[in-house]
Structure 1
């Protein structure tokens, strides 16, 4: 996988894996750190919507569910669009035990499969690099204030 077509970020959270799992799969908890509103049918093939007041709604479909190890979804790169091949990327969260709590890795792939020119693919990736940096910082801050 070409590094320019994917994003990987790992954080260590001082919280048990069950708390991190809940924070990435429970719509009420997701809405505390990832946008303002979330709807999620937590089943493979289930639909999800992540809404930011300032950006709109990113629609997604759950692609993987392996509690408490991995959670994945395909989401549309375009706001208010259904995620299909050509307009979406794959996001995968993996959780593992860590001496300090839980290691959480997010990998987003498929920017090179977007039906856009290369410059627009790179721009979409860079926007999400910044987005995952900010959002995972918010997740860590949220979980450090939550007791399991």
Structure 2
């Protein structure tokens, strides 16, 4: 590193080579610039955050029950022919199921779980049941791959 000496208005001035700032490499515009890189990273980070916020509802789209038929903890005069659960999100019917059990834990439904066209309602046909307490248990996999489950109960007089 050489120093350049010169006289300026009667004083000796020692010029040093210009220091290269780590944040601004403006001496050679074609070379790598950390400042440009930081700006580029900020741009990409901003885009990632905007996309994450825009699609957050898709990420958190777990299918939950909004209601059931019969209603949870209801008492019925007649046994239901069909038990259904209504969900907030579309489900993968092949990976989801609805089952109904009596007080002894025996299944009281027949056939496979069916699903509505909008993929948000699961139903199952019931066998002829008498009076007693019943529990319906559901397990679903929503179209985004998240698993959720729940249960509701009802009684028949």
For the criterion TM > 0.5, the same-fold answer is: no
Specify which structure has the higher proportion of helix.
Answer: 1
TM-score by length of 2: 0.30
Larger Rg: 2
TM-score by length of 1: 0.31
Does 1 or 2 have the higher relative contact order (CA < 8 Å, sep 6+)?
1
